[in-house]
Amino acid sequence: MNWKDIDDIAFELFEENSQLDPLTLKFTDLLDLILSLEGFEGERQHCNEAKLEAIQMAWLSEYRESQE
């Protein structure tokens, strides 16, 4: 996975942190979680706020579906 795999990243984050509301995370913490995912090959310097926000929103969608 790398930064273009937004939905895959979000799914993996949800799988590892299913009870965590992604809106409670600072972007710095979200970035650390992404970089620690097994199989993630992206580099910190290629990340930006838009990518983090897209991942956070995709994760939020997974999280909210699980709450229904």
Per the listing, tokens 């929103």 go with: 57
Q: Is the pLDDT of residue 4 over 90?
A: yes
Q: Is the CB of residue 55 less than 8 Å from the CB of residue 30?
A: yes
Please write the tens of the pLDDT for every residue from 19-40.
999 999 999 999 999 999 999 9
pTM, two decimals, is 0.94
Report the C-alpha gap between 42 and 64 in whole angstroms. Answer: 26
Please write the tens of the pLDDT for every residue from 8-21.
999 999 999 999 99
Query: Up-side HSE of residue 66: CA atoms within 13 Å toward CB?
Result: 15
Q: At what angle do helices 49-67 and 27-35 cross, to 10 degrees?
A: 80
Amino acid 68: pLDDT: 84
